[in-house]
Amino acid sequence: MPQGGPPTFRAGELAAACDGRLIAGQPSAPVAGFAIDSRRVQAGDIFLALRGARLDGHRFVPEALRNGAAGVVVSDVSAVGADGAAPRPQLVIAVRDTTCALQRLGRFIRRRSGARVVAITGSVGKTTTKENVAALLAGSYRVFRNAGNLNNHIGLPLSLLELRHGPEIAVVELGMNHAGEISKLVSIAEPDVRVWTNVAEVHAAFFPSIEAIADAKAEVMEGATPGTQLVANAGDARVMARAAAFPGTVTTFGVETDADVRATRVRSLGLRGMAATIETADQAVEVRTPLLGYGQVANLAAAIAVALRFDVPLDVLAARVPHCAAQPGRGQVLQLGALSVVDDSYNSSPVALRASLAAVGRERGRRRVAVLGEMLELGARSAELHEACGRAAVEAGFTLVIAVGGTPAEALAAGARSAGLEGEAVTTVRTSAEAAEHVAAVAREEDVILVKGSRGVGMDRVVDRLKAES
């Protein structure tokens, strides 16, 4: 960070940074903050009127001004005077494209902030790895992480605007469902450390093969220099094949495999989490984490590899590992009286679902119930992948399977039946609301219930209903 605290940003330099023109206001005027939602404007903010597929932010310029916005960034200047009753803005910056302006502003503030940026991508585990990295570094640095999964062409630059507050390290995730998207995000974030967790059949509807998915994820390496660092999964052959071309320093991580940072002697503690030994070339420590499953151990090893690159000692990291807790909807264990609910409702994919089934299936001596929403964007192999996951649920020891959705859910149910479940042990319902009613009716006091599904299916309703019943 520059001496003297966070930098001050002026209207004139921000207009230049976003390739715009300051057509009202003084170039020396300070800018307090930014907003893209007129309902969340704080006094003194600059409102960026983004054009989306459904909404045009220019329609909300008057509301933003009434809510205290000091200025606006617009591509249509007429929006400023559309409502004669709205206050006149102190600053008006005119640009050709407001989304491009946001992205340029994010990159500009990222550069001016002095923060080092860690960017994480992969098919599975991005958000958990991001949270782990932030938790492990927070005791040694001022750390910012982007909220939730603000990881796209709008969410990422919006997050980078927050670097004006002066963190030393920013930890962000990069998401994609089409080729070229990570390339764009990398050009905005210009990360010092890039983390590549894995490659899996996620968003497969938009790619001809898993190799094409790997190539799209490999865009995380673009623009790297000899001084850039990559943290890569030694256990993923597709990652490592592409990492061989990285021009900077590569640090590998893995579970029960040869890597710079490796987890060995991994063991499940049931719903209490996992235990493992973390080894480097010259040190080994024992760790315990409340996170469930071998996949989460890999995410943790990745985060430790990042923190070691920032010179945090391994024994210090071991003491911080227990604080790497699951986030709501991402494998969080809820104890509702004698009933245990594993809330993994935020999203799903075949690899992530299999990992969750295996992790929860290790909780022995109790009835295990799987409430599984269909997985979206799987393309031509959707039915095949769903059926395989239905079989995996039975193999993991689940004796009650409730599949939620349309044709893919029916394929999942068929897979469970083919693996040996019969009669009412397998149920298919169309919606998460129906699933919530059904689960509430069949749940027993000491069950373990796993809830998982793609965001569009709304499986969080099932968790909410079980909470309400407790």
pLDDT in tens, 166-183: 999 999 999 998 999 999
What is the pLDDT at residue 150? 82
What is the pLDDT at residue 7? 63
Q: Which residues contact 147 (CB under 8 A, 6 or more apart)?
A: 159
Residue 19 gets the label, from left (phi > 0), alpha (psi -120 to 50) or beta, of left
* Cβ–Cβ under 8 Å, residues 399 and 368: yes
d(CA 114, CA 265): 40
Structure tokens at 182: 């990570």
Residue 344 DSSP symbol: E
d(CA 390, CA 426): 10
CB-neighbour burial class of residue 346 (10 A; exposed 0-12, middle 13-18, buried 19+): buried
d(CA 301, CA 279): 10
Neighbour count for residue 330 (Cβ, 10 Å): 20
Q: pTM for the full model? A: 0.91
Q: For residue 125, which amino acid is it?
A: G
What is the pLDDT at residue 340? 96
d(CA 114, CA 430): 50
* Cβ–Cβ under 8 Å, residues 71 and 33: no
Q: How confident is the model at residue 373 (pLDDT cuts 50, 70, 90)?
A: very high
Q: How confident is the model at residue 6 (pLDDT cuts 50, 70, 90)?
A: low
Residue 8 DSSP symbol: P
Answer yes or no: is pLDDT of 22 > 80: yes
Q: How confident is the model at residue 3 (pLDDT cuts 50, 70, 90)?
A: very low
* Cβ–Cβ under 8 Å, residues 104 and 35: no
What is the pLDDT at residue 455? 86
Q: How confident is the model at residue 205 (pLDDT cuts 50, 70, 90)?
A: confident
Phi, psi at 391, each rounded to 5°: -65, -40
d(CA 460, CA 428): 17
Phi, psi at 352, each rounded to 5°: -65, -40
| pLDDT tens column, 310-353 | 999 999 999 999 999 998 999 999 999 999 999 999 999 999 99
Mean of the per-residue pLDDT values of the chain:
94
What is the pLDDT at residue 110? 96
Mean per-residue pLDDT for 298-307? 97
d(CA 212, CA 216): 6
Mean per-residue pLDDT for 11-26? 95
| pLDDT tens column, 237-293 | 999 999 999 999 999 999 999 999 999 999 999 999 999 999 999 999 999 999 999
Q: What b/e string do you get for 43-57 counting C-beta neighbours within 10 Å, with b at 16 or more?
A: eebbbbbbeeeeebb
Percent of the chain beyond pLDDT 70?
A: 98
Neighbour count for residue 442 (Cβ, 10 Å): 14
What is the pLDDT at residue 263? 97
Q: How far is CA 129 from CA 17, 126, 173, 299, in A?
A: 32, 5, 9, 5
Domains of the chain and CATH, by start: 11-99 (3.40.1390.10), 115-323 (3.40.1190.10), 332-469 (3.90.190.20)
| 25-33 long-range Cβ contacts below 8 angstroms, 24+ apart | 25/71, 25/89, 25/90, 25/91, 25/92, 29/71, 29/90, 29/91, 31/70, 31/71, 31/91, 32/70, 33/161
Characterize the bridge pairing of strands 274-279 and 261-268.
antiparallel
Mean per-residue pLDDT for 68-76? 95
Percent of the chain beyond pLDDT 90?
A: 89
What is the pLDDT at residue 2? 43
Q: Which residue has the higher pLDDT, 465 or 469?
A: 465
Q: How confident is the model at residue 5 (pLDDT cuts 50, 70, 90)?
A: low
Answer yes or no: is pLDDT of 112 > 50: yes
d(CA 25, CA 91): 5
- What totals of helices (H) and strands (E) does the chain contain, helices first? 15, 20
